[in-house]
Structure 1
Amino acid sequence: MTRAVYEKELYRLQAALVELQEWVRAEGERLVVVFEGRDAAGKGGTIKRVTEHLNPRFARVVALPVPTERQRTQWYFQRYVEQLPAAGEIVLFDRSWYNRAGVERVMGFCTPQEHQRFLRQCPLFERMLVEDGMRLHKYWFSVSDAEQERRFRRRLEDPVRHWKISRMDMESFTRWEAYSRAKDEMFVHTDIPEAPWYVVESDDKRAARVNMIAHLLSVVPYRPIESPLPPLPPRPESTGYERPPRELQTHVPDHAATLTRHQQGGSAR
């Protein structure tokens, strides 16, 4: 997908997402979007594009850390229930309760009994959410092994992406088939009519982003909400205010000007 086509369509879709959020707020809807998939499959980048122009007071991303010792003794779904939306809110899970069916299953962080209990309880849990009026949409981002490897290598080479690399990422790279089997088993049990899985092919990141957003907009029956914008009032006449002298304040150094002068000097040479 070319950048020009991508950016034009992304902006159109993001404008529609703003309309969707206004509808969620006006109607008191509760919208949950689950993002799952392999490491480096593009979930984070898609979430950024979804939320880029939304009101953060009513649309939030949930990316929970490793559970505490206390949380390990709770019902498995308990800490996720605390993050579910109230009326008028959108919650996007950057990984979710499906950790138990994926990383915990493959890495041995849960027992076989806990894993099987999850597969039994998860459809019941999600049916309860939907029955209570919550809108639940689940997306699985699928990436090929070759593309995943390319993205991992880019992260290792790019200093601003080093934080994206973890021991778990390296384990997922070496346990490709184990994760594949775990995902297949998870789909068998949790791809239910009330909350089906939607697979997003993500080797092309730009296409994956617009495909996912376009699909979400197509399955939520939102409508534009009329909310007239207030006119910009005329600025009142001055009452004599004068700004204090600039030298009385501490300003950040003009780093941008330094770069500009350096660039102009290089061009002159």
Structure 2
Amino acid sequence: MKEKLTRDIYERELRKLHEELVLLQKWVVETKQKVCVVFEGRDGAGKGGTIKAITERVSPRVFHVVALPAPTEREKTQMYTQRYLKHMPAGGEIVIFDRSWYNRAGVERVMGFCTEEQAQRFLRIVPELEDLVIESGTILLKYWLEVSAEEQTRRLQARINDGRKTWKLSPMDLESYRRWHEYSRARDEMFKASDKDWAPWHVVRSDDKRRARLNVIRHLLDHIPYKTKPPKPVKLPKRSLKGEYVEPDYPYRFIAEHDWEAKPSK
């Protein structure tokens, strides 16, 4: 196994990839292309951090992140995929699902939120659903982030110990952690049913978060046939003349400026 990527190399390469993502964004808008990216994986696999790395330097008007909560009572009575389909991209949009319709093949199945019959029916029909998505002109990319049992333990323990991360940990996470092998079996059956040539699962080794993020972005860029044009040079124009404008003597409510260089009081 390779050594974990250093921060210096990660930030250097991420900057280059961010520049390419900006070009991709421009192409998607100009061509009205539709792109749908699905991220799945166990709790602690690094989905959120990877999505943040993709989106932190692009426009939220183009890159939309969808992370749906548990279904409402009304949504439970609808066709299962209905609440996901309404978030699919229109022309000029890239939609990223932080967990997706595959909840039915994973968490819902393992935790008993759906019946085994419902899970099996989903696995039968999902290839046809994704075939229709692609036939509509949407580029569909599906990523599974594969984290080892040891690394998942380390990351979830870090959530317990770090006050900045406690919001990431729920009783559901603890229960899913306990059911590692049940999730493994569910993942295996999900791959068997839905890893198709027209909509394959791209598996990402994610024990090294930085390396995984770079690998995903590189793969995403390589699998969308965007074309680039040399950017036109930009020069700031001259500001208009001040004329008779006078800065007002207004009592602005400035926020307090703390002395961050001082020694902390605690």
* Same topology, TM > 0.5: yes
* Residue 35 (structure 1) aligned with residue 36 (structure 2): no
In 2, Cα distance between the equivalents of 1:135 and 1:121? Answer: 19
Write the deviation string for residues 123-142 of structure 1: whole angstroms up to 9, x where unpaired.
Answer: 01000001111100000000
In 2, Cα distance between the equivalents of 1:68 and 1:80? Answer: 13
Report how far residue 236 of structure 1 moved: 2.3
Q: Which amino acid in structure 2 is aligned with residue 90 of structure 1?
A: I
In 1, Cα distance between the equivalents of 2:58 and 2:229? Answer: 15
* Residue 157 (structure 1) aligned with residue 161 (structure 2): yes
Report how far residue 254 of structure 1 moved: 1.0
Report how far residue 86 of structure 1 moved: 0.3
In 2, Cα distance between the equivalents of 1:108 and 1:200? Answer: 27
Match of 2:72 in 1: 68
1:22–1:225 contact (8 Å) kept in structure 2? no
Q: Secondary structure of 2:94's match? A: strand
Q: Secondary structure of 1:207's match? A: helix
Correspondence for 1:207 among 187, 208, 211: 211
Report how far residue 244 of structure 1 moved: 2.3
Identity %: 52
Match of 1:13 in 2: 17
1:155–1:164 contact (8 Å) kept in structure 2? yes
1:33–1:92 contact (8 Å) kept in structure 2? yes
Report how far residue 219 of structure 1 moved: 1.0
Match of 1:136 in 2: 140
In 2, Cα distance between the equivalents of 1:259 and 1:15? Answer: 32
In 2, Cα distance between the equivalents of 1:38 and 1:49? Answer: 19
In 1, Cα distance between the equivalents of 2:238 and 2:190? Answer: 60
- Once the two structures are superposed, the pairs formed by residues 87-102 of structure 1 within 5 Å of their partners are 87-102=91-106
* Residue 253 (structure 1) aligned with residue 256 (structure 2): yes
Q: Which amino acid in structure 2 is aligned with residue 14 of structure 1?
A: H
Report how far residue 237 of structure 1 moved: 2.4
1:41–1:141 contact (8 Å) kept in structure 2? yes
Correspondence for 1:4 among 4, 8, 22: 8
What residue ranges of structure 2 are gaps of 5+ in the alignment?
Answer: none
- Once the two structures are superposed, the pairs formed by residues 98-113 of structure 1 within 5 Å of their partners are 98-113=102-117
Correspondence for 1:119 among 123, 127, 134: 123
Q: Which amino acid in structure 1 is aligned with residue 260 of structure 2?
A: L
Q: Which amino acid in structure 2 is aligned with residue 75 of structure 1?
A: M
In 1, Cα distance between the equivalents of 2:103 and 2:229? Answer: 37
In 2, Cα distance between the equivalents of 1:245 and 1:90? Answer: 46
1:23–1:225 contact (8 Å) kept in structure 2? no
Q: Secondary structure of 1:159's match? A: coil
Structure with the largest fraction of helix: 1
What residue ranges of structure 1 are gaps of 5+ in the alignment?
Answer: 265-269
1:130–1:136 contact (8 Å) kept in structure 2? yes
Q: Which moved more, 1:18-27 or 1:173-182?
A: 18-27
Write the deviation string for residues 121-166 of structure 1: whole angstroms up to 9, x where unpaired.
Answer: 1001000001111100000000001100100111111111111001
Q: Number of matched residues?
A: 261
Give the aligned CA root-mean-square deviation in angstroms: 1.5
* Residue 233 (structure 1) aligned with residue 264 (structure 2): no
Report how far residue 233 of structure 1 moved: 1.2
1:34–1:137 contact (8 Å) kept in structure 2? yes
In 2, Cα distance between the equivalents of 1:114 and 1:209? Answer: 33
In 2, Cα distance between the equivalents of 1:250 and 1:212? Answer: 44
